């Protein structure tokens, strides 16, 4: 077995990267740790094992909940995976046929937990593919540990092999959905896919990893039909293992806090990937204070998620300046604050005017389509749905959400 640690680099055959599965983020991380642990002996051994504590720690599972870990390993052992869904040819075996090898099977033959150890073996056909040295994607377990979005980890795996080339191949949108692990029928409209999957994944990959990616779209008759990603090395990336472990722990703690407040795990992970920990903490504290003051009578979960969902990604919260000795320039400071407030109000009014001008220029057909997209956008938020049903856009919270929706999807370049 490998002398496994958080800074170990896993080699993953590209056919095992280009897969379609229903694995969650944790299940993908566990699978990669198990592969890294077994890799050096894949050709010579049938059985592998690892300490359960090491498996959980390296995957970023900071909990003693053995039952939860067990449930996720059961899914790994039993869930079918479609391999090499891009139908690429990697070996002589593939080149002898008209079509390249494509397989559907579980990854593992068995996974057993006993006495603090996890023992496992791979499905025979899968093991043959994993040991084929033709083409590998290579990435650090320390990097994967930081991800809070399953979509981000999938995007990172699918883009890493293209670092030397500078761009990925073109992916048809349906194929891209499968690679990302998007459920069939979910985010069928491109704007929803872009908002909930692409932007979230790109943001997290660029923030946390050694590469920077950017989407490129291929349009046919104004409809987006394919997506490609440019891939460059991230000059800001420095692999600080202690910091990475701290970031992963903090993010998971934030997700747990949001879930405890009633936010769904999926929405919590999207928010954690989208925003800084400081902004999320501030949002939680502000909403809880409003609840304490009686300004919010219902569950706080809807209000928290509405703010996190409507605020653009990578929101920067200005840190409080270091206190300086008091001087006689208090009037000057007050004047500057008033001027800043006026500028902010003017910017907001200008933004609203631009949005209104855009809306006034829509045809009836375009307006109807936009309304449908907005209704789909708020369909998972019960508080917004209730306000929208009762008051429509006359509701202040709905109006604000609608304006942010239009600004992000229609006006921002």
146-239 is classed in which CATH architecture? Orthogonal Bundle (1.10)
**How confident is the model over 294-327, as pLDDT tens digits?**
877 777 788 887 787 766 654 333 333 444 445 5
* Three-state secondary structure of the chain: CCCCCCCCEEEEEHHHHCCECCCCHHHHHHHHHHHHHHHHHCCCCCCEEEEHHHHHHHHCCCCCCHHHHHHHHHHHHHCEEEECCCCCCCCHHHHCCCCCCCEEEECEEEEEEECCEEEEEECHHHHHHHCCCCCEEEEEHHHHHCCCCHHHHHHHHHHHCCCCCCECCCEEHHHHHHHHCCCCCCCCCHHHHHHHHHHHHHHHHHHHCCEEEEEEEEEECCEEEEEEEEEEECCCCCCCHHHHHHHHHHHHHHHHHHHHCCCCHHHHHHHHHHCCHHHHHHHHHHHHHHHHCCCCCCCHHHHHHHHHHHCCCCCCCCCCCCCCCCCCCHHHHHHHHHHHHHHHHHHHHHHHHHHHHHHHCCCHHHHHHHHHHHHHHCCCCHHHHHHHHHHHHHCHHHHHHHHHHHHHHHHCC
Output the pLDDT for position 83: 61
With 0.75 as the threshold, say if the pTM is over it.
no
**How confident is the model over 186-198, as pLDDT tens digits?**
888 898 899 889 9
Output the pLDDT for position 57: 86
> Out of 139-143, 185-189, 306-310, 332-336, which region has the weakest mean confidence (pLDDT)?
332-336
Assess whether pLDDT exceeds 60 at residue 170.
yes
Residues of the chain with CATH 1.10.10.10: 1-144, 146-239
Higher-pLDDT residue of 66 and 86 is: 66
Assess whether pLDDT exceeds 60 at residue 18.
no
- Mean pLDDT value across the chain: 77
1-144 is classed in which CATH architecture? Orthogonal Bundle (1.10)
- What band does 225 get if pLDDT is binned at 50, 70 and 90? very high
Assess whether pLDDT exceeds 60 at residue 242.
no
């Amino acid at each position: 077995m490998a002398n496994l640690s958080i800074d170990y680099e896993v080699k993953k055959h590209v056919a095992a990267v280009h897969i379609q599965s229903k694995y969650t983020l944790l299940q993908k991380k566990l699978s990669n740790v198990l592969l890294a642990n077994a890799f050096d002996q894949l050709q010579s051994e049938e059985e592998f094992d690892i300490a359960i504590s090491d498996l959980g720690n390296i995957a970023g599972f900071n909990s003693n909940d053995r039952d939860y870990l067990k449930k996720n390993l059961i899914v790994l052992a039993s869930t079918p995976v479609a391999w090499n869904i891009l139908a690429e040819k990697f070996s002589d075996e593939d080149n002898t046929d008209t079509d390249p090898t494509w397989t559907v099977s579980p990854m593992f033959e068995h996974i057993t937990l006993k006495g603090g150890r996890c023992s496992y073996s791979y499905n025979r056909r899968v093991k043959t593919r994993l040991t084929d040295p033709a083409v590998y994607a290579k990435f650090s377990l320390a990097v994967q540990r930081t991800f809070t979005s399953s979509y981000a980890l999938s995007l990172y795996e699918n883009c890493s092999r293209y670092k030397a080339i500078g761009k990925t191949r073109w992916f048809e949108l349906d194929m891209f959905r499968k690679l990302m692990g998007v459920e069939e029928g979910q985010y069928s409209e491109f704007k929803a896919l872009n908002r909930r999957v692409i932007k979230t994944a790109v943001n997290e990959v660029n923030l946390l990893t050694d590469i920077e990616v950017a989407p490129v779209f291929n349009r046919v008759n104004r409809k987006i039909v394919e997506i490609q990603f440019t891939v460059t090395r991230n000059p800001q990336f420095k692999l600080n293992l202690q910091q990475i472990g701290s970031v992963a722990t903090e993010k998971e703690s934030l997700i747990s806090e949001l879930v405890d407040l009633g936010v769904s795990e999926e929405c919590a992970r999207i928010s954690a990937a989208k925003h800084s920990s400081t902004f999320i903490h501030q949002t939680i504290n502000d909403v809880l204070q409003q609840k304490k003051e009686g300004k919010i009578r219902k569950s706080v979960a809807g209000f928290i998620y509405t703010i996190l969902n409507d605020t653009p990604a990578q929101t920067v919260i200005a840190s409080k300046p270091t206190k300086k000795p008091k001087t006689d320039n208090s009037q000057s400071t007050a004047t500057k604050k008033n001027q800043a407030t006026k500028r902010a109000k003017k910017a907001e009014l200008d933004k609203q005017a631009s949005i209104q001008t855009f809306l006034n220029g829509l045809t009836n057909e375009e307006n109807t389509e936009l309304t449908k997209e907005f209704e789909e956008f708020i369909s998972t938020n019960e508080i917004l749905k209730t306000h929208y049903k009762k008051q429509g856009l006359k509701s202040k919270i709905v109006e604000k959400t609608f304006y942010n929706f239009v600004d992000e999807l229609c006006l921002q370049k």
